[in-house]
Amino acid sequence: MLPYNVIVVPQYVLFKDLGWINSFLPLIVPKFLATDAFFIFLLIQFIRGIPRDLDDAAKIDGCNHFQMYLRIIIPLALPALATTAIFTFIWTWSDFFTQLIFLDDQAVYTVPVALRTFLDSSGVSAYGQLFALSILSLLPIFGFFIAFQRLLIEGVATSGIKG
């Protein structure tokens, strides 16, 4: 729930102590730990929309809490989980600030940081290469959206409906 600017310095110190600076680990690992409050809110609202009658029916059938979660809630929440995964990928792919902080070596630069290297403060910029790489950087996001378009639309459409 804290703004990213507040936690960036402690995160940098932690990742430096772990030896993760100049690797992709600080960009990937926090995303698997539900660091974005928006997605937690989205999933909670989606799970609250699942009727309680399904829980009661599962208890009657002999399911414990873990089995109810694994066999009922997770399959029903698949569209919301897919929406979370898609948005996390898109936001992580396009993030500039985090990648600029944790990556120092040009060999491990990600696409947004590499795009910035095409601009020169002296006025000599490679605009042709910049625009070509910009178009290429949109292809994975576009492909990801096309591949999971049905789940994304279903997850967004059903997350706000109360039953």
Residue-level pLDDT at 85: 85
Give me the average pLDDT of each 10-residue run along the chain (163 residues): 82 94 90 78 86 89 92 88 85 88 89 82 76 88 85 68 49
Q: Give residue 141's Cα distance to chain centre.
A: 12
Query: What CA dihedral angle connects 74, 76, 79 and 85, to 10 degrees?
Result: -10
pLDDT at residue 15 in the model:
94
- pLDDT of amino acid 4: 79
Overall fold of domain 4-158? MetI-like fold (1.10.3720)
**DSSP type of residue 24:** S
Count of CB atoms within 10 A of residue 60's CB? 8
Distance between CA 86 and CA 151 in Å, rounded? 9
The domain ranges of the chain are 4-158
